[in-house]
C-alpha cells in the first residue's frame, strides 16, 4: 500500500482531502473570475425564453446541447454566475468518481484512489472544472461511455450493450467531437470482439446513428458552421497539447514539459510491467492504451491550436496510466519525489489562476477609454456582432460611457441570425452610416473558421470613409478579439 491505514493520513483520507481542496479552490477561483467570450454566449443563451432557447440549441447552436439544457434547468433557481458554475464542478466530481470506477475495473481499490487524487490535482481538469461551458460534462460522458464500453467487452450482455449505446448518445449530445471518441470505441470493439458479436455492434451503431441524426442533419444544413473552429494542428502544437494535458498550460519551459511527459511515459511502462502476472487486467490496460491513442489521434486532426479544453476527456485516461505506474513503484522515496513534483506543478498553476489579468471586456474598456477623442462633441460608435457581446459589454458599458460620453453602442449581424423568424426578441435591422461619426470601433471575433462575411462587408464600408486605422489585439481564453479603430 501507498500509506499504512494505521497512520493518520490513510489513502482514503487523502482522497477526501483532495476532494475538499478541489472544491474549495474552485469556489475561490469562481468567486474571482469573470466570464470570457464563450461563457458570455452561454449566459446569453440561458437568458432566452424557452421557445427561443429550444430554437437556438436545436437549429442554430446544437453543439453541447446537453449541457445547455441542463444549465437552463439549473438556472431556474438562480442566475448568479457563482451558482451556475457549481453545475460544472458537480460534473467534474462525478467524472472523478468514474475515474475511480474505471481504474478499479482494471486494477485495485488503492490504485483507483490514487487515480482520483491525481485527477483532482491535474491542472487542465481543475482549470476547466468551473467554466460555464460543457467541458466537465464532456469529460464525464466520455468516461461513462468508456466504462460501459469495457463492460460490454467484459460481460457482453444485453444490459451492458444497452448502457453503452445510451452513454454514446449522451456523449455525442455533450459535444460533437464525441464522434471521434465513439468511432475509436467501435474500432476497438471490432478489433477485440469475435465475428459472432458483429450483429450487436451493428445494432448499437444503428441506434446511436438514429438518435444523433437530427444533429448531423442540422449541421449539414448550416454548412458545418457550429464546428468551423476545428483545424489541423502541427507537430509542435501537438507536443504542447500533450504536455498541457500531462503537466500544465502555465509552464513555459519546454524542458520541464519534456521531463514530466517522459515521467508519465516511464510510469506507463511500469504499469504494463506490473500487470504481467494477470493476463486479463493486462489486456484491459493495453485495450485502454489503444483506445486512448485512437482518440488522441482523432482529436489531433481537428484540435484548435489555441486550446486544450477539447482534449479534457483524455486527462482521466492519462490519470489512470499515471496511477497504475505510480503504484507499481515499490520504492517509497521515489513515490514521494514524484508526488511532490506533481503537487508543485499544481500549486504553481493554481497561483497563476488566482492572478487573473481581467477579462476581455475589461481590456476592451481600457483600450477604448484611453483612445477617446479629445473633442466631446465628436460622435463615436462601437459596433459588435456576437450575442456574447450583449452580455459581456454590459459589464463595462457604464464605465466607457462615463469616460467617453459621446460613444454609442450598436449591435447587428449574428444575434439576428440566431433567432427564429417570429421571435418577439428578434433584434431590429440596424444600418450604420460611417459619415455620421468621427470615430468607429469595430469589435472582431476571430476563430479558425473565419469571421462573418457581413462583418467583413461593414469593415470595408467603414474603411472607405476614414483616413486612419489602428488595430488592437485582445488575447481571450480561446478566441482572439481584435479592435479596429477608424478615425480621421
Q: What is the DSSP string of 109-175?
A: HHHHHHHHHHHHT-HHHHHTTT-SSSHHHHHHHHHHHHHHHHHHHHT--HHHHHHHHHHHHHHHHH-
pTM (predicted TM-score): 0.78
Dump the DSSP string for 7-43. Answer: SSS-HHHHHHHHHHHHHHHHHHHHHHPPP-HHHHHHH
| Residue closest to 227 by CA, chosen among 180, 187, 277 | 180
Instruction: Specify whether 317 is located in the same domain as 433.
Output: no
Question: End of a domain among 335, 354, 373?
Answer: 354
Last residue of a domain, one of 331, 354, 377: 354
CA distance 149 to 160: 8
Is 322 domain-assigned?
yes
**Is residue 228 one of the residues assigned to a domain?**
yes
Give the phi and the psi of residue 261 in degrees, each rounded to 5: -70, -30
CB within 8 A of 244, min separation 6: which ones?
Answer: 124, 308, 311
Q: Of 43, 134, 1, 59, give the one whose Cα is nearest residue 359.
A: 43
Whether residue 292 is found in the same domain as residue 435: no
Looking at the fold, whether 369 and 323 belong to one and the same domain comes out as no
Read off the C-alpha cell for 79.
442566475
For the record, the C-alpha cell of 251 comes out as 509552464
- Contacts of residue 294, Cβ cutoff 8 Å, sequence gap at least 6: 184, 187, 188
Residue 392 within a domain: yes
What does the pLDDT look like over 310-329, one tens digit per residue?
666 677 777 777 777 777 77
With vertex at residue 373, the alpha carbon angle to CA 372 and CA 378, rounded to the nearest 5 degrees, is 125
Domain assignment present for 138: yes
Q: Are residues 297 and 397 in the same domain?
A: no
Q: Among residues 154, 151, 188, which one has the least CA distance to residue 166? A: 151
What pLDDT is attached to residue 221?
67
Domain shared by 335 and 199, yes or no: yes
User: Has residue 114 been placed in a domain?
Assistant: yes
CA 453 vs. chain centroid, Å, equals 27
pLDDT < 50 stretches in the chain: 1-3, 5-8, 304-306, 357, 413, 448-449
DSSP assignments along 384-412, one per residue: E--HHHHHHGGGTHHHHHHH-TTEEEEE-
421 φ/ψ angles, rounded to the nearest 5 degrees: -65, -30
Same structural domain, 288 and 317? yes
Instruction: Give the Cα separation of 269 and 271 in Å (integer).
Output: 5
pLDDT of residue 141: 92
Kindly state the helix (H) or strand (E) to which residue 440 belongs, with its residue range: strand 439-446
Query: Contact at 8 Å (CB) between 476 and 36?
Result: yes
- Shared-domain flag, residues 114 and 133: yes
Domain boundary among 304, 327, 354: 354
What is the pLDDT, as a whole number, of residue 70? 95
**pLDDT at position 357:** 45
**Do residue 256 and residue 387 come from a single domain?**
no
The answer on 26 and 108 residing in a single domain is yes
3-state DSSP call for residue 446? strand
Which domain covers residue 413, as residue numbers?
360-487
How far, in Å, are 186, 444, 459 from residue 456 at the CA level? 43, 9, 5
Q: Are 215 and 364 found together in one domain?
A: no
Residues 379 and 323 reside in one and the same domain: no
Q: What pLDDT, on the 0 to 100 scale, is given for residue 386?
A: 61
**Cβ–Cβ < 8 Å for 122, 129:** no
Q: Which residues contact 455 (CB under 8 A, 6 or more apart)?
A: 385, 413, 442, 444
Same domain, 300 and 383: no
- Residue 248 grid coordinates: 500544465
For the chain, the domain total comes to 2
Residues composing the chain? 488
- Tell me whether residue 305 is in a domain: yes
pLDDT, residue 162, reads: 93
Dihedral sign computed on CA atoms, order 127, 129, 134, 140:
positive
| pLDDT at residue 304, rounded to an integer | 46
What Rg value do the Cα atoms of the chain yield, rounded?
A: 25
The domain spanning residue 441 has which CATH number?
3.40.190
Amino acid at each position: 500500500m501507498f500509506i499504512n491505514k494505521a497512520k493518520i493520513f490513510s489513502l482514503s483520507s487523502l482522497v477526501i482531502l483532495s476532494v475538499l481542496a478541489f472544491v474549495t479552490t474552485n469556489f475561490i477561483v469562481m468567486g474571482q473570475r469573470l466570464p470570457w467570450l464563450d461563457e458570455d454566449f452561454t449566459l446569453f443563451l440561458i437568458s432566452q425564453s424557452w421557445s427561443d432557447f429550444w430554437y437556438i440549441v436545436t437549429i442554430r447552436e446544437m453543439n453541447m446541447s446537453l449541457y445547455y439544457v441542463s444549465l437552463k434547468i439549473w438556472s431556474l433557481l438562480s442566475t448568479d454566475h457563482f451558482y451556475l458554475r457549481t453545475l460544472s464542478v458537480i460534473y467534474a466530481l462525478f467524472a472523478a468518481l468514474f475515474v475511480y470506477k474505471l481504474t478499479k475495473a482494471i486494477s485495485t481499490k488503492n490504485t483507483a484512489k490514487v487515480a482520483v487524487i491525481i485527477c483532482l490535482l491535474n491542472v487542465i481538469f481543475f482549470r476547466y472544472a468551473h467554466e460555464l461551458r460543457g467541458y466537465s460534462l464532456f469529460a464525464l460522458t466520455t468516461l461513462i461511455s468508456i466504462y460501459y464500453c469495457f463492460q460490454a467487452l467484459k460481460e457482453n450482455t444485453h444490459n451492458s450493450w444497452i448502457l453503452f449505446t445510451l452513454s454514446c448518445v449522451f456523449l455525442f449530445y455533450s459535444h460533437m467531437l464525441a464522434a471521434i471518441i465513439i468511432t475509436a470505441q467501435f474500432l476497438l470493439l471490432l478489433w477485440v470482439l469475435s465475428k459472432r458479436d458483429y450483429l450487436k455492434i451493428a445494432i448499437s451503431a444503428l441506434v446511436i446513428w438514429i438518435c444523433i441524426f437530427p444533429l448531423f442533419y442540422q449541421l449539414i444544413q448550416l454548412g458545418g458552421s457550429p464546428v468551423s473552429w476545428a483545424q489541423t494542428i502541427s507537430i509542435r502544437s501537438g507536443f504542447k497539447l500533450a504536455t498541457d494535458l500531462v503537466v500544465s498550460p502555465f509552464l513555459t519551459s519546454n524542458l520541464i514539459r519534456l521531463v514530466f511527459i517522459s515521467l508519465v511515459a516511464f510510469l506507463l511502462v511500469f504499469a504494463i510491467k506490473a500487470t504481467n502476472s494477470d493476463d486479463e487486467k493486462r489486456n484491459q490496460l493495453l485495450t485502454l492504451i489503444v483506445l486512448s491513442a485512437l482518440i488522441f489521434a482523432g482529436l489531433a486532426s481537428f484540435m484548435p491550436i489555441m486550446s486544450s479544453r477539447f482534449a479534457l476527456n483524455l486527462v482521466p485516461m492519462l490519470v489512470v496510466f499515471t496511477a497504475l505506474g505510480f503504484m507499481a513503484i515499490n520504492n517509497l522515496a521515489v513515490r514521494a519525489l514524484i508526488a511532490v513534483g506533481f503537487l508543485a506543478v499544481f500549486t504553481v498553476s493554481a497561483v497563476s489562476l488566482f492572478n487573473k489579468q481581467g477579462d476581455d471586456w475589461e481590456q476592451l474598456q481600457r483600450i477604448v477609454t484611453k483612445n477617446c477623442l479629445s473633442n466631446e462633441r465628436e460622435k463615436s460608435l462601437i459596433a459588435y456582432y456576437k450575442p456574447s457581446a450583449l452580455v459581456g459589454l454590459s459589464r463595462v458599458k457604464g464605465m466607457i460611457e462615463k469616460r467617453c460620453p459621446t460613444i454609442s453602442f450598436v449591435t447587428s449581424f449574428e444575434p439576428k441570425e440566431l433567432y427564429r423568424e417570429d421571435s418577439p426578441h428578434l433584434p431590429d435591422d440596424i444600418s450604420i452610416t460611417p459619415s455620421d461619426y468621427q470615430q468607429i470601433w469595430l469589435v472582431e471575433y476571430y476563430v479558425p473558421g473565419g469571421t462573418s462575411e457581413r462583418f467583413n462587408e461593414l469593415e470595408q464600408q467603414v474603411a472607405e470613409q476614414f483616413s486612419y486605422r489602428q488595430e488592437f489585439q485582445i488575447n481571450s481564453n480561446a478566441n482572439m478579439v481584435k479592435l479596429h479603430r477608424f478615425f480621421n
